[in-house]
Chains A and B, each alone.
Chain A
């Protein structure tokens, strides 16, 4: 009974933290656009708090820069279980245009923290981000939560 209740709660209240680890902030702008009445992220039970300590989902944008080498792992460690990481845009996956000779980026993000889902695009459209988060987040969070509970038992 309690486990079912936990499942429902985890699926319908997702707290999101946006971590910009060194991109052009185009993706961050599109994430802000998600808050606008046209897309209205909050009607799906997703709240953007930008506080890693109370987040369920980390939305990582940007190719990893020198300063984020340790900070990214620290932020991931601070986020409570169960948690998932969604990489938004091309940068966290490949470094995009910055992964060239002379660039100071350490992409991909998956070298530093485990990534559950990736949305390609430079930047992806808000509707694509919304669709990806809604497809991945509730199920993955519930599954991870169940696995965590099983370990405790």
Chain B
């Protein structure tokens, strides 16, 4: 029997159709229908200046909106061969990690909601508000921050901001151990999460899983290791686990939040003085840049013609994660309720995954292609 879930469904935040092939309660196979939120951002960006495009790149995805602007700015910085000043790089790290904290906490609270564990859902969502407060304090906005520009950041921060952020982070840390223990040791939650939706390391490699989902299956890959700011200035090691089930994915995100708090503290402690923005002349050329968003690798490939963007291609992490979720995690899930929880644990974000599928009418073959492949 094929059981459709979505596009509007109590368990899903965003529109997407899950088709579960079931035998009794057991899920044998899963298929995913995309295409509900395709807006054509790459096409809109063509022929516009970066000042206009950076707003569009922010609105690719509302949850990890910050990382998109940073990657966009760094792509154009690679084309023009400049780097943002050190103070701007540090401020970027702070905002990036705060964004990661709120995204991971939201993902985990959604997972608890699908498990019907209201207590943890509420507690974790309450902690997330402190991260949102810090973001608002630093940038002036809660979700779409408008904080990055090519060559630096828009506003400077001072001691008062940093002290308030540290206070907020302390509030998150205070409740944190208790909440992790609530999840880690409580038998009922662990029963619903342990051994459910397992994806092995081989499957993760085959399905191109990235980010915390890949790391929970044993892929020790975090692009922050390769980023120049993190490599040169910060003490950073990726967090990973072996199990590859819902339990591992959730815990991995929890521990990454702890690590992000530590990174923000490091950044505030060693904050250098200086400019926050350098003037950038963008030449014609091609450049690409990869960054670690909360959900995994974000990659921008851009071709510029002077100040204008000629072509741009954006690859976001969720498309690989949702694909590997459908192929491997949902393969042998015992019940439909667990299937929804497994889907939520893969932290899907639909807004950034949407692509145009090019269908050849004669052969009936369809493929998702981006500009640089077609060329």
Q: A residues within 8 Å of B by Cβ?
A: 17, 19-30, 32-33, 35-38, 49-52, 62-63, 65-68, 71, 75, 96-98, 100-105, 122-123, 125
The answer to whether A28 and B62 have CB atoms under 8 Å apart is: yes
Q: Mark B51-68, 1 if CB is under 8 A from A, else 0.
A: 000011011111101000
The distance from the CB of A151 to the nearest CB of chain B, in whole angstroms, is 28
Count chain B CB atoms within 10 A of each CB in A63, A66, A75 and give the residue with the most.
A66
The answer to whether A123 and B44 have CB atoms under 8 Å apart is: no
Known: A33-B125, A103-B44, A104-B38. A26 touches B10 (CB 8 A): no
Query: Looking at the complex, which one of B13, B39, B56, B61 makes contact with A104 (CB distance below 8 Å)?
Result: B39
Q: Which residues of A contact B65 (CB under 8 A)?
A: 24, 26
The answer to whether B14 and A20 have CB atoms under 8 Å apart is: yes
B-side binding surface: helix, strand, loop or mixed?
loop
The answer to whether B44 and A22 have CB atoms under 8 Å apart is: no
Q: Which residues of A contact B299 (CB under 8 A)?
A: none
Query: Looking at the complex, which one of A27, A30, A50, A66 makes contact with B8 (CB distance below 8 Å)?
Result: A50
Query: Looking at the complex, which one of B9, B39, B46, B125 makes contact with A22 (CB distance below 8 Å)?
Result: B39
Enumerate the 9 nearest inter-chain pairs by beta-carbon distance, A residue then B residue, closest first: A26-B62, A102-B43, A36-B125, A24-B59, A22-B37, A26-B143, A25-B62, A104-B40, A102-B44
Report the bound CA distance from A100 to B42 in whole Å.
12
The distance from the CB of B68 to the nearest CB of chain A, in whole angstroms, is 10
Q: Which residues of A contact B144 (CB under 8 A)?
A: 24, 26, 122-123
Interchain pairs with CB closer than 8 A, number? 127
Report the bound CA distance from A100 to B39 in whole Å.
10
Determine, out of B126-134, B230-238, B251-259, B286-294, the stretch whose residues face the partner at the interface: B126-134
Shortest Cβ distance from A96 into B: residue: B59
The distance from the CB of B360 to the nearest CB of chain A, in whole angstroms, is 20
Report the bound CA distance from A38 to B128 in whole Å.
10
The distance from the CB of B48 to the nearest CB of chain A, in whole angstroms, is 8
Report the bound CA distance from A98 to B57 in whole Å.
11
Query: Looking at the complex, which one of A22, A32, A103 makes contact with B36 (CB distance below 8 Å)?
Result: A22
B1 at the interface (CB under 8 A from A): no
Query: Looking at the complex, which one of B12, B40, B349, B350 makes contact with A102 (CB distance below 8 Å)?
Result: B40
The answer to whether A24 and B351 have CB atoms under 8 Å apart is: yes
Q: Which residues of A contact B46 (CB under 8 A)?
A: 102
Shortest Cβ distance from B43 into A: residue: A102
B336 at the interface (CB under 8 A from A): no
The answer to whether A51 and B14 have CB atoms under 8 Å apart is: no
Q: Which residues of B contact A30 (CB under 8 A)?
A: 142-143
The distance from the CB of B145 to the nearest CB of chain A, in whole angstroms, is 10
The distance from the CB of A145 to the nearest CB of chain B, in whole angstroms, is 24
Q: Which residues of A contact B106 (CB under 8 A)?
A: 29, 32
Query: Looking at the complex, which one of B8, B39, B61 makes contact with A98 (CB distance below 8 Å)?
Result: B39
Q: Which residues of B contact A62 (CB under 8 A)?
A: 37
